[in-house]
Amino acid sequence: MSRAIRIEPSILSADFVNMESELQRIATADAVHVDVMDNHFVPNLTFGPQMVKRVQAVSPVPLDVHLMITDADRWAPGYAELGAFSVTFHAEAATDPLALAAALRERGSRAGIALKPGTPADEVIAHLDAYDQVLVMTVEPGFGGQGFMDDMLDKIAVVRAAIDAAGTDTWLQVDGGISTSTIARAYAAGADTFVAGSSVYGADDPVAAIASLRDAAHA
């Protein structure tokens, strides 16, 4: 396989008190995954636009903002206006995903759509040209450190087959339980963009951890 391998450490596993230095520790990553949670869509609370704006100002790599919030139609465009490279909203939280994706692109961000483990991919793969990224959650969203759900591999494969058939340049991202022991299975199923939290920030050397993930994807 010759697909790209993109590694995006999640700052959900970083030290929030020392965020600027934590971002510098992952300068070899392809992007930083920024989890925005509102304690409504998921049972956890992280931060909002002000924090994302500051992360944007000091990050050495692009921001991939993952919105785990209700009323995505209202709030997601504002994150694109902050300059985020990519903004991903949940299919379950948007009333008009196609219009929202278009609004994100109009504001200069890549448009991503995320699927919880229990959400089928049918509606998303029917409109792949509308999305720059599809995120298949490989854990239930809300908390880091969960185990990879192998039963999501079939969904990843379905989305990959649809992307290849459509001929779109849509990235296929997975988030949840990604480590050197799971990334190869996700890559083999079709993913090309990998969110890794504790496996990077829990390591003594995040740069080495990022390199190990890249290598392990081909294993």
Query: Phi and psi at residue 75, in whole multiples of 5°?
Result: -95, -30
Catalytic pick among 30, 64, 175, 192: 175
Q: In what helix (H) or strand (E) does residue 160 lie, and over which residues does it extend?
A: helix 153-166
Catalytic, 71? Answer no
For the chain, the maximum distance between any two Cα atoms, rounded to a whole number of angstroms, is 45
> What CA–CA distance (Å, rounded) separates 59 from 124?
30
Q: Of 192, 172, 121, 174, which Cα lies nearest the Cα of 10?
A: 174
Catalytic pick among 35, 38, 132, 192: 35
Tokens of 194: 């990998």
Query: Phi and psi at residue 37, in whole multiples of 5°?
Result: -125, 140
Contact 191/173 with Cβ under 8 angstroms?
yes
Q: In what helix (H) or strand (E) does residue 23 lie, and over which residues does it extend?
A: helix 19-24
Residue 23's beta-bridge partner residues? Answer: none
Sheet containing strand 171-175, strands side by side: 6-9, 193-196, 171-175, 133-137, 110-115, 86-90, 63-68, 32-37
Catalytic, 129? Answer no
Which are the catalytic amino acids? 35, 175
